[in-house]
Amino acid sequence: MIKIVFLDRGTIGPSVTINRPSFAHQWVEHDASAPEQVAERLAGATIAVTNKAPIREDILDGLPDLKMISIAATGYDVVDVAACVVRGIVVSNVRGYAVNTVPEHTFSLILALRRSILGYKQDVIDGEWEKSGQFCFFTHSIRDLAGSTLGIFGEGALGQSVAALGKAFGMRTRFAAHKGVEGLGPLYTPFDEVLETADVITLHAPLTPATRNMIAMPEFRRMRRRPLIINTARGGLVHEGDLVTALEEGLISGIGFDVLTAEPPVSDNPLLKVLHRPDVIVTPHVAWSSEEAMQTLWDQVIEHIDNFHNGTPSNALG
């Protein structure tokens, strides 16, 4: 019987209906799997399901029965796709499930920071409204989105959805050309120009060798309008140490991050030192995880497994 192993069930919310493939199979699931546990847990498995548990080349030769990996995410950096292709292992990811949830989370961060929601909430908790003697008070800046410029790094489905929301708020939207790349056409604004003119910069690019630390201190020093920096894409796109320095030097006006270079964060992550600030919001990689999006994601995972079993692999990588 076909053995299917789900390596990290705990990465999918408890509200999701974990439906299973339509064909006869043995189902094994683990709440989480450390890297050193993956090989043992996949022994004898024909199909693996993973979200963040890594499946690297060094273990594949010890898994002769493995024929398919269904990734419960769009990003596939946890799987050595090239090594799988060489061994005839089909790898499929999910796509398009987050076109509402990630853009909505992105704008939740933008709105909360642009309108100083955290700062005013804390002031009310601290009794500042009662002390003010006025119907309102002005301890934090509030800025409209209408008429401001939204710089978007990443022009895929998520970047396009964010642009649509930005336009609905009356923002000027600019898709940044890829760093160091010219000739991408009139739909793109030069990378440096976006840095210099954006009031809000939001990241929706994959993490690759070309995009790792694509925003660091040289880029921060080009930001003339002290923009908000929003990252709901991948940790590692922004140099986190330089990000905090830029905030402390007044080069940017706020940070809204849902992703970090290491997750969960390590104790020396510089962002942990500024979490108390009203112009900093860090959420625990949940932009993707509306109940609707997670259910759509899981339905795709099972669809890919069924399609593979029927001889018609879908969303195959490599």
In the prediction, which pLDDT does 313 show? 96
Catalytic residue (one of 105, 239, 285, 304): 285
The answer, yes or no, to whether residue 90 has pLDDT greater than 90, is yes
Q: Is 88 exposed, middle or buried (0-12, 13-18, 19+ CB in 10 A)?
A: exposed
Q: Is-catalytic flag, 285?
A: yes
Q: What CA–CA distance (Å, rounded) separates 227 from 200? A: 5
Q: What CA–CA distance (Å, rounded) separates 73 from 300? A: 10
Q: What is the pLDDT of residues 27-63, one digit of tens each?
A: 999 999 999 999 999 999 999 999 999 999 999 999 9
Q: Tell which CATH architecture fits domain 2-97+291-309.
A: 3-Layer(aba) Sandwich (3.40)
Q: At 193, phi and psi to the nearest 5?
A: -65, -40
Fold: same for 2-97+291-309 and 101-282: yes
Is the whole-model pTM more than 0.85? yes
What band does 144 get if pLDDT is binned at 50, 70 and 90? very high
Across the chain, what does the average pLDDT equal? Answer: 96
Instruction: Provide the 3-class DSSP secondary structure of residue 122.
Output: helix
The answer, yes or no, to whether residue 123 has pLDDT greater than 80, is yes
Residue in this structure with the two tokens 């990588």, named with its chain if needed: 317
CB 145 within 8 A of CB 110: yes
Catalytic residue (one of 40, 57, 128, 263): 263
Q: Is-catalytic flag, 182?
A: no
What band does 110 get if pLDDT is binned at 50, 70 and 90? very high
Q: Is-catalytic flag, 276?
A: no
Catalytic residue (one of 234, 239, 304, 309): 234
Span between the terminal Cα atoms of the chain, in Å: 27
The answer, yes or no, to whether residue 15 has pLDDT greater than 90, is yes
Domain boundaries, the chain: 2-97+291-309, 101-282
Please state which CATH number belongs to domain 101-282.
3.40.50.720
Cα angle 265, 270, 276; round to 5: 90
Q: What is the pLDDT of residues 170-212, one digit of tens each?
A: 999 999 999 988 777 788 999 999 999 999 999 999 988 999 9
Task: Give a three-class secondary structure readout of 210-225.
Answer: CCCCCECHHHHCCCCC
